[in-house]
Amino acid sequence: MTDGILVHQQIRDLIEQGALTSTPAIAPTQIQPASLDLRLSTRGYRVRSGFLPENCRVADRLEEVTLYAFDLTDGAVLEKGHCYIIPLLERIEQPLAQRIRANPKSSTGRLDLFTRVLADHCGRFEQVPPGYTGPLYLEVVPRSFPVKVRTGLSLSQIRFSSGSASLSDDELRSEHGRSPLLFDDRGEPLPSEQLRLDGGLMMGVATRCDRDIRGPIGHAAKRYTGVIDMADENSHDADAFFQPIPEPKDGRLIVEPEEFYIFASKERIRIPAHLAAEMVAYDVGIGELRTNYAGFFDNGFGGEHGTRAVLEVRAHDVPFLLEDGQVFFKLDFFRTQEVPEVVYGDRRLSSHYQGQALKLSKHFRPQ
């Protein structure tokens, strides 16, 4: 078996072979360059606590922890701070040799919507072991805003991988030498000696204005807001949900504990067509800072001259000081088994964030 992540045409083959099924059928628009979007089913459950179904089926545990069930066909509001379990339309019908890893979609993370995929008899969130067959479920916790969701909405996505797909730091440096991965705000490639590599490609946070970021340098979620209807794109007033953060005079900014912020990366990132990537939080040692919810970067993200990564930031326990350009997260890069037939930014896909600078989710009207 070839090492690497499955891409668009290989995921399509799994669907055509009946390994992945759904009623209604999986739509072609769900298949991304190196991932598959998962959709909410017709029913949801408000639960008193989250759980890991290591020794049981999810459905059996739901019988014990459900406070009430509700219908999603015409939409339902998920309240801020409450925990929900929602079965997904997609299921694994045939045993797969690949590992499955899940992640929230970009728009999900930018709304501070915490999601994790669950599978029967699986003791890890966001992971499904090879050989699993059965249903998939999604734990959903709105952290900042109440949201309206409905059947067929995609909040999460999965990847399929085999073997050892991760690139080493030496391989990343070679990739950058052949075709740059990181760029400055002018679209100029960073010199190889300026790359920060430590088990992945390290990147910084922007707290100063530059050629891309000309207005606020970030956004902070407001505490008391209305409902965001996640089926409505480009329709919500950003000022009703976020407070813009002006550029600090010295480039330094303190983020408050348990508040939610949107920032942009200092550098622009480009993902070549033969690679995929995943954003992971930079380990600061005591776990007081979360820098992302959504982490998948598909082949082709960033185009030719790179695109900013958007950071979903929440500090825990203590205030945290940010400085312009400081290391804030890293990208792990992975080989894909083939070059996908469709890459991020292709007009056949709904690629909302190609060429972004500091951008809120697709649900808000452009500012």
Residues 210 and 252 in one domain: yes
Task: Say how far residue 121 (Cα) sits from the centre of its chain.
Answer: 24
The answer to whether position 341 is within a domain reads: no
Q: Which of 265, 262, 248, 266 lies closest to 220, judged by CA?
A: 262
User: 200 with 280: CB under 8 angstroms?
Assistant: yes
For the record, the structure tokens of 30 come out as 């769900």
Q: What integer pLDDT is reported at residue 37 of this predicted model?
A: 96
- Tell me the residue type at 124: R
- Between 80 and 281, where is the model more confident? 80
Residues 202 and 256 in one domain: yes
Using a pLDDT cut of 90, give the percent of the chain over it: 79
pLDDT digit string (tens) for 75-94? 999 999 999 999 999 999 99
CATH number assigned to the domain comprising residue 310? 2.70.40.10
When pLDDT is averaged across residues 286-306 and rounded to a whole number, the result is: 77
- Does position 304 have pLDDT exceeding 90, yes or no? no
| Residues spanned by the domain of 324 | 169-335
What is the pTM (predicted TM-score) of this model? 0.94
Q: Which of 258, 74, 256, 242 lies closest to 148, judged by CA?
A: 74
174's CB contacts (< 8 A; 6+ apart) are: none
User: 263 with 313: CB under 8 angstroms?
Assistant: yes
Residues 188 and 93 in one domain: no
Residues 281 and 249 in one domain: yes
285's CB contacts (< 8 A; 6+ apart) are: none
Residues 197 and 320 in one domain: yes
Residue appearing with tokens 């550098």: 267
3-class secondary-structure state, position 59: helix
Q: Which of 127, 162, 197 is the last residue of a domain?
A: 162
Burial of 254 per CB tally in 10 Å (0-12, 13-18, 19+):
exposed
Least confident span in 53-67, 167-181, 294-308 = 294-308
Q: What integer pLDDT is reported at residue 289 of this predicted model?
A: 66
Least confident span in 10-19, 71-80, 284-293, 342-351 = 284-293
Residues 150 and 24 in one domain: yes
Domain count, the chain: 2
Q: What is the mean pLDDT of the chain?
A: 92
Q: Which of 331, 346, 298, 353 lies closest to 35, judged by CA?
A: 298
Q: What integer pLDDT is reported at residue 115 of this predicted model?
A: 94
pLDDT digit string (tens) for 215-260? 899 999 999 999 999 999 999 999 999 999 999 999 999 999 999 9
pLDDT digit string (tens) for 165-208? 999 999 999 999 999 999 998 889 999 999 999 999 999 999 99
Region of 363 on the Ramachandran plot (φ > 0 left; ψ -120 to 50 alpha; else beta): alpha
When pLDDT is averaged across residues 131-160 and rounded to a whole number, the result is: 97
Least confident span in 2-11, 59-68, 319-328 = 319-328
